Amino acid sequence: MSVITSAVSTASDEFKRNAAEFQTLLDDLRRRRRLARVGGEPAARKRHTDAGKLLPRDRVAALLDPGSPFLELAEFAGDEMYGSNPPGAGIITGIGRVSGRVCMIVANDATVKGGTYYTLTAKKHVRAQQIAWQHRLPGLTLVDSGGANLPEMAGIFPDSGQYGSVLHQLVRQSADGVPQLSVVHGACTAGGAYTPVLTDQTVIVKGQGYIHLGGPEIVQAATGEVVDRESLGGAEMHTYRSGVTDYIANDDRHALGILRQLVTDLPARPDPFSPPETPVPPRYDPREIYGILNSDTRVQTNTREIIARLVDDSRFEEFKRNFGETLLCGFAHWGGHPVGIVANQGVLMSDSSIKAVQFIDLCCKRNIPLIFMADVTGYMVGREAEVGGIAKNGAKMVQAMSAANVPKYNLVIGSSYGAGYMGMCGRPFEPHFSFGWPNGRAALMGPEQAATTLSIVQRRKRERLGQEWSEAEEEAFRQPIRDQFSSFSNMRNFAANLWIDSILDPAETRMVMSLVLDLAARVPPVPTSFPILRM
Ligand code: COA
């Protein structure tokens, strides 16, 4: 395999300027991560710990194998959407090792509005389950939730992909042989009561966890029966009498110890189908990416320089290097795993699209995961491009990418606009994971293009009606459009809405991707059949 030789001068003024600008983005990312990890208001946290309960992050830490990493997902879900609530939507999701076994962990945060489910809470829980199912990871749910956040009914109750899907997926995954285990640490009420009861095995904490379809107040209102919480749904009642729970624990730590033992008793973790080679670090420091990504978003990044700082030994065997040069396709190893990389190096043209089709086909035949590194303003427009069949060639690329059944990943490393967002395996095409860098931006089109498009439409309409439109008026019309597209396209917005799984520091991307490639390598390959490709 060929080694990429870097031409970057880390001493240049441009590099230093870019790196300094990127540092601002990284500082913001780290600050937001710290905020997201705090949890609810101090008073709510104090009440929680005063009651002898572990905070949810401490529960996760106590569950994980000591010193092992935890890949937290969607930590910015719901950011700035729910008043003073911190980012994270009141639930923690992530991948970590428990008793030597990699699992998906889902933990309610009762310090954020009683752990109740907002729209994004439900979406985040469902997404974590999807990832777990796709990779056949045991699901461990640490329940401490008041169930539905009642005013959020429209976003959690009626539709697929909402809270009901959490229950549906628990059932289907268990039936499919993906183990589901749970601990009831606190509240577990109404529809939410079904969450632990639908898992394979349930632990409950004495004097702290309770499960009931209707709380004491509802029971009294409905039937007149006066009953206390413990006898209605407490740990002893459910473990010794109703049989709803299987194990009783004295406190949170004891419960998590029982859960670790239950994971130990699961069948062994599957071996990788194709064992990875020994990982070799890139020849160039991934932190140099900060200085390579130009702070002027109009300047095209040399994506080869990015690849050189991510893949093993900076080795990249380019496919059709001299054809369709606005798209780099090539084979590499990433953390020892073979990968096919599809990376933009300009606007998508007919030739680059066709090249992608052949490359994706090769990867599918050889069962090689595909990593789409998006930095694209879209597919080429204009008469020449249309005559050259950009519509059918771009469509063929979408067909190949969409039909490919090998593991697919979407990394937004720069722009990801319009149909380019689709062609580079944007979220609607169900990549195994999608991540964005802090400089990433994605939208129907760029802010300036959107302002121009809409002002042309507006000007034409005014001309038709014989109305004047001064330059100042036009500018006043354009600015809010720019602002809207600019804030929409920010990866923070994508992370808050769960359109990506996380925002990554470029320097941690290698490690995160190595982990998820390892997960995918343990799942049986699925053959691909392509649709009718238009010629
Ligand atoms: N919907 C919306 N908000 C809710 C809520 C719900 N189902 N349950 C609790 N909250 C809010 C409370 O209003 C409170 O908000 P505030 O801090 O702005 O005042 C916050 O969550 C914490 O509730 P609080 O009761 O103070 O905390 P707690 O730790 O003592 O108890 C619960 C938490 C969830 C156990 C308890 O509030 C409860 O039983 N809620 C009702 C649960 C229910 O019936 N759900 C129906 C699901 S269909």
Q: Where are the alpha helices (DSSP H) in 7-79?
A: 13-36, 42-50, 56-63
Ligand 1 pocket check for 3: Cβ under 6 Å: no
Whether the CB of 191 sits within 6 Å of ligand 1: yes
Phi/psi of residue 400, each to 5°? -65, -45
Cα–ligand 1 centroid distance for 231 (angstroms): 20
Instruction: Tell how far the Cα of 110 is from the centroid of ligand 1, in angstroms.
Output: 9
Distance 147 CA to ligand 1 centre (A): 9
Q: How many Å lie between the centroid of ligand 1 and the Cα of residue 85? A: 14
Give me 359's structure tokens: 């490359």
Residue 158: which pLDDT band, with cuts at 50, 70 and 90? Answer: very high
149 CA from centroid of ligand 1 (Å): 8
| Domains delineated in the chain | 1-38+284-440+490-523 (3.90.226.10), 39-264 (3.90.226.10), 445-488 (no CATH)
Looking at residue 502, its pLDDT comes to 98
Fill in the DSSP letter of residue 18. H
146 C-beta closer than 6 A to ligand 1: yes
The beta strands (E) that lie in 99-133 are given as: 101-108
* Residue 187 CA, ligand 1 centroid: distance in Å: 10
Helices 163-175/119-135 angle, 10° precision: 20
Contact assessment for residue 136 and residue 178, using Cβ atoms and an 8 Å cutoff: yes
Q: Which atom of ligand 1 is nearest to the CA of 215?
A: 44
| Ligand 1 atom at minimum distance from 110 CA | 29
CA distance 308 to 287: 12
Q: Are 252 and 51 in contact (CB under 8 A)?
A: no
Helix (H, G, I), strand (E, B) or coil at 129: helix
pLDDT tens sequence across 324-375: 999 999 999 999 999 999 999 999 999 999 999 999 999 999 999 999 999 9
Strand partners, 72: 94
Instruction: Assess contact for 422 and 429: CB atoms under 8 A.
Output: yes
Q: Which residue has the higher pLDDT, 500 or 271?
A: 500
The residue whose CA has the least distance to atom 40 of ligand 1 is 146
Question: Three-state SS for 389?
Answer: coil
Task: State in Å: Cα 192 to ligand 1 middle.
Answer: 13
Mean pLDDT of 307-320: 98
Tell me, using a 6 A CB cutoff, whether residue 148 lines ligand 1.
yes
Residue 146 alpha carbon to ligand 1 centre in Å:
6
Tell me: pLDDT of 273 over 90: no
Between the CA of 113 and the centroid of ligand 1 the distance, in Å, is 6
Taking only the tens place, the pLDDT of each residue in 410-439 is: 999 999 999 999 999 999 999 999 999 999
Q: Whose CA is nearest to atom 7 of ligand 1?
A: 149
Cβ(349) to ligand 1 under 6 A? no
Closest residue to atom 21 of ligand 1, CA basis: 113
pLDDT value at position 389? Answer: 95
pTM: 0.96
> Quick one: three-class SS letters along 188-219?
EEHHHHHHHHCCCEEEEECCCCECECCCHHHH
Helix (H) or strand (E) holding 333: strand 327-334
Structure tokens given for 340: 């096919």
Ligand 1 contact via 189 beta carbon (within 6 Å)? yes
DSSP state of 237: I
Q: What pLDDT shows up at residue 269?
A: 83
What is the number of helices (H) and of strands (E) in the chain?
A: 21, 15
Contacts of 102 (CB under 8 A, 6+ apart): 95, 96, 137, 269, 519
Residues counted in the chain: 535
Residue 224 exposed, middle or buried by CB count within 10 Å (0-12, 13-18, 19+) = exposed
- Nearest ligand 1 atom to alpha carbon 113: 21
**What's the mean per-residue pLDDT of the chain?**
96
Token output for 437:
């860098």
Q: What is the pLDDT of residue 332?
A: 98
Percent pLDDT > 70 in the chain is: 100
DSSP 475-501: HHHHHHHHHHHHHHHBHHHHHHTTSSS
pLDDT at residue number 13: 97
Q: What is the pLDDT of residue 191?
A: 79
Average pLDDT over residues 23-35: 97
Distance between Cα 224 and ligand 1 center (Å): 22
User: What is the reported pLDDT for 381?
Assistant: 92
Given a cut of 90, whether residue 188 has pLDDT beyond it is yes
Asked if residue 209 lies in contact with residue 196, where contact means CB atoms within 8 angstroms, the answer is no
CA-nearest residue, atom 43 of ligand 1: 146
**Separation between Cα atoms, residue 502 and residue 440, nearest integer Å:** 12
Q: Model confidence over 392-407: pLDDT tens digits?
A: 999 999 999 999 999 9
Best CA proximity match to 378, nearest among 369, 387, 391, 388: 391
pLDDT at 78: 97
CA distances from 469 to 196, 450, 463, 474, 484 (A): 62, 18, 9, 7, 22
> In a mutational test of the pocket of ligand 1, which residue from 113, 149, 228 has the highest number of ligand atoms less than 8 Å from its CB?
113
β-strand partners of 212: 189
**CA 155 / ligand 1 centre spacing (Å):** 18
Angstrom distance (rounded) from CA 16 to CA 6: 16
Contacts of 238 (CB under 8 A, 6+ apart): 204, 211, 244, 245
CB count within 10 Å of CB 282 equals: 22
**Cβ pair 151, 158 in contact under 8 A:** no
Mutate to test the pocket of ligand 1, among 41, 48, 116 (most ligand atoms within 8 A of CB): 116
CA 145 to ligand 1 centroid distance, Å: 9
Residue nearest to atom 14 of ligand 1 (CA): 113
What is the C-alpha to C-alpha distance for residues 91 and 75, in angstroms, rounded to an integer?
Answer: 9
3-state secondary structure of 412: strand
pLDDT of residue 46: 98
Please give the DSSP secondary-structure letter assigned to residue 381: -
d(CA 535, CA 529): 17
Q: Whose CA is nearest to atom 2 of ligand 1?
A: 149
